[in-house]
Every structure is written in C-alpha cells, then in structure tokens.
C-alpha cells in the first residue's frame, strides 16, 4: 500500500487517479511515501525519511527545499503549464482592471447615494475621474517566456498590442510557440524602457529577487502598469508604492497582498488567485498524481525539477531505482555488486542532471535487502529502492 499525504487542498480529479486498493490518500497519515501539495511552505517542516517524492500541484517550487531533497535523492515534481491558461486570463483581467480604473470606479459606484435620478446625475459627473486607456497599440513587456509568459505574449498580440519579451533561457519549444511578431529584448532594462505594461512570469529565486526595483522603475515610461502574478519578492513593494505615490507609475496589480499594498488606491491585490480555477486545479492535480504514481510504481521520472527525465519499460518484475551523485564509476560499482550477488541485468538506464544521476535497472532475480544495503553503502549513493 502506498501512502500519499496531501498538504493542501488538491482536486479530487487528481486524487481519484490513485486506486483505493493500492493507495491510501489523506491529509493526516503516518510515514507517507509522497507529499502532494500546492503553496504550503516546506522549508521549516521536518520531512519524514519515508517521503520518496514530493509533487507540487502547480508551477512554482520556491516553497520546497529542493537542495535538501536532492541530497536525500528525493525527486520534486511540478506540473509545467497545467495552470498557465488560468494565470493568462487573470493577467488579462488585471490589465483591463488597471487601465480602465475598474476597481476605483466600482468603489465609487457602490458609494453613490440618493434616489435613482440623483445617482444617474452623479454618475455623469464622477465618470470623468475614471477615464482610462485601451490596449491596442500599447506595448506589453513580458519578463519570462515560459508556459505563462508565452501564452500572455501571444494573447496580447491577438488583442492588437505590441509585445516585447525577455527570457535569457528561452527554450526551443517556447520559441516555436511564440508569435513571430513578438520583439525580443536583450535585457530587462531594454524591455522596461519600451513598455506601457510590464508583466512578470519568472520563478522566485536569488536571481529574480527584487528584479523590479526603484532603479529599474525610474527607467520605465511614465504611467506604466506593472503586473506581478509570479511571486512576492520579485517586485520590491516599497519601491513600487513610492513610484505610485510620486505619480511615476499608473498602477500595480499583483497576486500577493500585504499591509503596505492592500489599501493603496492605485494597487489591486488579489489573494493568490492565479491558478484558482476548477480547470487549473484539476489539470495540476491529475498531472502530479500521474507522475507520482509512475514514480512510485515504476521509478520513472517525468517533470521533476531536480532529477532527469527517466522512463524505461519494465522487462522483469525485479526493478531497482537508484539516485546518486553524478560522479564516475557509480554504475560500475552498482553492477559489480549485482554481478557478485548473482543478478543478471536485463535492462539499465542511467541519466544525469547537474550534480545528480538516476539509474533504473531490471534484473532477473529478486533483490534482497542485503544487496540493497550494499548498494546504499557505496559512497555517493543517495537513495535505493526496489520496486
Ligand atoms: N499566481 C499564481 O497563482 C501562479 C504563479 N505562478 C508563478 O509563475 C512562475 C512562472 O510560471 P511558468 O510560466 O509556468 O513557469 P515556466 O518554468 O514555464 O517559465 C518560467 C520562465 O522564466 C524564465 N526565467 C527564469 N529566470 C529569468 C530571469 N531572470 N529573467 C527572465 N526570464 C527568466 C525561464 O527561462 C522560463 O522560461 C512560477 O515560477 C510561479 O512562481 C505560476 C502559476 C500560478
Ligand atoms: O496552487 C495554487 O493555487 C498556487 C499556484 C502557483 O502559485 C503556482 O503554480 O506556482
């Protein structure tokens, strides 16, 4: 019986992927084989040794201690692209809310008093305070052209906007998906200087912390709108508020409320709603459940953020999955132990990624605990599992 512990609310459509005969799935469970979560921060959580894999039903993995898990030979999975459409639609919503002053206008409308005739009169008076601007012909800068950024960029082109993108690690797959009329910027500064709207779609890490700060805001066009549906910390909130107060920026729309931001008249903050659609929650949960299941049952790895992609069809009932440091002679030492203990290797796949490597082996006879212990004792071996 495999045990899956859910640490956040996960769509039942995903959980239904785990057959009841072979899986126990619960939010409270002893010695889980895998965690399934969304945004819960795991950095200060004592993750039990029983955990063999972590599945993030979403894109961002900054809530997970990846290095710690890598050192334990534990793959961390995510669901690339599964919630991209939901975020794209919220970015569009944010752009329109911002450039048409919708939230301020709605607030104003809610506060109108008197009979309907006087309300109608006042409407014609107050509406001039909320004159906005339109999207076609304006320039949208997209920082990060991954699953979300690419889809936002293409959408904006379809709406008649000029689009300039920046991503120093743009993949070939994403480049193929991008509309050919999207301009490429060589630096963030170059992008900012051209943009009326800037939207950020990068992961949060040391390289993206404070990416948008006072120096960069000062290089932007006057009255630009910044949208941050990526993560708190990528945009420096204090610097943004200062620029809003000084009349430099038009508005800031983000998914990460704080005391500083939530009541500011030129800020719209949403409670981390980017991926909160039934469709996105289902897509993420199904993708992660499938990946965790294939890893637990077959050792295959798909969409891990720390381990290589590994898939090997089974040719025997005796499989071993080994995570190890990416150093010479690991496969040599492992196969020597298997040969010495009388196992014939029927199939073997070894892949590496950065400092980590992963080996799947199918052998002709049952692998005993003693053999597992011998392989575990090899210097550089991080985890060993028979499946
Ligand atoms: N608000 C919400 O609910 C959601 C937020 N997110 C956030 O959005 C982020 C992006 O998501 P996806 O597009 O699905 O991820 P992705 O991995 O498909 O794309 C990220 C892109 O950012 C690029 N990148 C990395 N560092 C960069 C830098 N310094 N400058 C420019 N580009 C850089 C990468 O090359 C990659 O193409 C996630 O990491 C997550 O933090 C994702 C989904 C929902
Ligand atoms: O699960 C959620 O609602 C958050 C989604 C998110 O931030 C992500 O996928 O990176």
DSSP state of 129: G
Which residue's CA is minimally distant from atom 10 of ligand 2? 60
Give the number of whichever ligand sits closest to the CA of residue 165. 1
The residue ranges of the chain whose pLDDT is under 70 are none
State both tokens at 204: 């949060």
Which residue's CA is minimally distant from atom 3 of ligand 2? 275
The atom of ligand 1 lying closest to the CA of 90 is: 1
Bridge partners, 228 (sequence order): 200, 254
296 and 18 Cβ atoms separated by less than 8 Å: no
State both tokens at 287: 């993708």
Place of tokens 């200062």: 242
* Strands of the sheet with 345-353, listed across from one edge: 345-353, 356-363, 318-325, 381-386
Ligand 1 centroid–CA 238 distance in Å is 22
- Which tens digit of pLDDT belongs to each residue from 47-60? 999 999 999 999 99
Cβ–ligand 1 contact at 233 (below 6 Å): no
ipTM of the complex, rounded to two decimals = 0.99
Cβ–ligand 2 contact at 319 (below 6 Å): no
pLDDT at 86: 98
User: What is the phi/psi pair of residue 315, to 5°?
Assistant: -115, 0
Q: How far apart are CA 291 and CA 379, in angstroms?
A: 29
DSSP string, 64-121: S-HHHHHHTT--EE--TTTTHHHHHHHHHHHHHHHHTTHHHHHHHHHT--S-HHHHHH
Beta-strand relationship, 345-353 and 356-363: antiparallel
pLDDT at 172: 97
Q: Is the dihedral of CA 223, 229, 232, 235 positive or negative?
A: negative
pLDDT at 321: 98
Cβ–ligand 2 contact at 74 (below 6 Å): no
Residue length of the chain: 387
User: What is the phi/psi pair of residue 75, to 5°?
Assistant: -75, 140
Q: How far apart are CA 353 and CA 294, in angstroms?
A: 20
Cβ–ligand 1 contact at 145 (below 6 Å): yes
Cβ–ligand 1 contact at 256 (below 6 Å): no
The H or E element that residue 382 is part of is: strand 381-386
- Which tens digit of pLDDT belongs to each residue from 340-361? 999 999 999 999 999 999 999 9
Cβ–ligand 2 contact at 62 (below 6 Å): no
Ligand 2 centroid–CA 45 distance in Å is 19
State both tokens at 36: 């399934």
């Amino acid at each position: 019986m495999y045990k899956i512990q859910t640490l956040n609310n996960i769509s039942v459509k995903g959980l239904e992927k785990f057959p009841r005969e072979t899986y126990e799935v619960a939010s409270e469970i002893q010695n889980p084989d895998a965690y399934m979560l969304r945004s819960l921060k795991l950095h200060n959580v004592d993750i039990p040794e029983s955990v063999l894999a972590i599945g993030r039903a979403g894109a961002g993995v900054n809530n997970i201690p990846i290095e710690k898990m890598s050192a334990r030979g534990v793959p961390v999975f995510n669901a690339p692209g599964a919630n991209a459409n939901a975020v794209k639609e919220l970015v569009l919503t944010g752009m329109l809310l911002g450039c048409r002053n919708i939230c301020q206008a709605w607030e104003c409308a809610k506060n109108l008093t008197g009979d309907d005739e006087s309300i109608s009169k006042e409407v014609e008076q107050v509406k001039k305070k909320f004159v906005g601007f339109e999207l076609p012909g304006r320039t949208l800068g997209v920082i990060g052209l991954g699953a979300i950024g690419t889809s936002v960029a293409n959408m904006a082109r379809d709406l008649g906007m000029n689009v300039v993108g920046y991503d120093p690690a743009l993949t070939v797959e994403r480049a193929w998906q991008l509309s050919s009329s999207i301009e490429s910027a060589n630096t963030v500064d170059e992008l900012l200087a051209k943009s009326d709207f800037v939207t950020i779609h990068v992961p949060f890490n040391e390289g993206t912390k404070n990416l948008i700060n006072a120096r960069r805001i000062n290089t932007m066009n006057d009255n630009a709108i910044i949208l941050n549906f990526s993560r708190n910390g990528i945009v420096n909130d204090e610097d943004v508020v200062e620029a809003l107060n000084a009349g430099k920026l038009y508005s800031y729309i983000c998914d990460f409320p704080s005391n500083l931001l939530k009541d500011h008249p030129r800020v719209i903050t949403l409670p981390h709603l980017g991926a909160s659609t039934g469709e996105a929650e289902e897509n993420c949960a199904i993708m992660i459940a499938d990946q965790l299941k294939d890893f637990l049952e077959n050792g295959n790895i798909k969409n891990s953020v720390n381990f290589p992609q590994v898939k090997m069809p089974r040719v025997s009932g005796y499989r071993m999955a080994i995570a190890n440091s990416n150093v010479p002679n690991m496969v040599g030492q492992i196969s020597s132990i298997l040969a010495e203990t009388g196992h014939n290797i029927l199939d073997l796949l070894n892949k590496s990624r950065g400092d980590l490597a992963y080996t799947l082996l199918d052998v002709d006879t049952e692998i005993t605990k003693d053999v597992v212990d011998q392989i575990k004792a090899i210097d550089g071996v991080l985890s060993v599992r028979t499946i």
